[in-house]
Amino acid sequence: KVWIVLLKGFGYSWLTLGAILIAAGIAGTWMKDGFSAAQELLNPFNLKNYLAMFIMLAPGGGALVWAEKLAAKNKQRQSSENRI
């Protein structure tokens, strides 16, 4: 149960901090190079940027998925123990 709580806390913290850093990067690009640079950065055909965002946010999402799997496994184990 402790691992589930720790993984959820880590996952939500990582996703929150990652989203804040991504937003700060976009705002910094806008302030330094203007709206057109920010628009180019968020261009749907700019796959490098989206790949970098995915790599940055993946550990948080992975931790949340892992926590859910552990919770489901824990719940299944508890229900099988209650039947005995």
Task: Name the pTM for this structure.
Answer: 0.85
The whole-number pLDDT of residue 41 equals 92
Which of 30-34, 54-58, 76-80 comes out lowest in average pLDDT?
76-80
Tell how many helices (H) and how many strands (E) occur in the chain: 3, 0
Residue 81 binned pLDDT confidence (cut-offs 50, 70, 90):
confident
Amino acid (one-letter) located at 83: R
**Token representation of residue 70:** 């552990």
**Token representation of residue 56:** 């940055």
Query: How much is the mean pLDDT over the chain?
Result: 94
CB pairs under 8 A, 24+ apart, for 43-52?
none
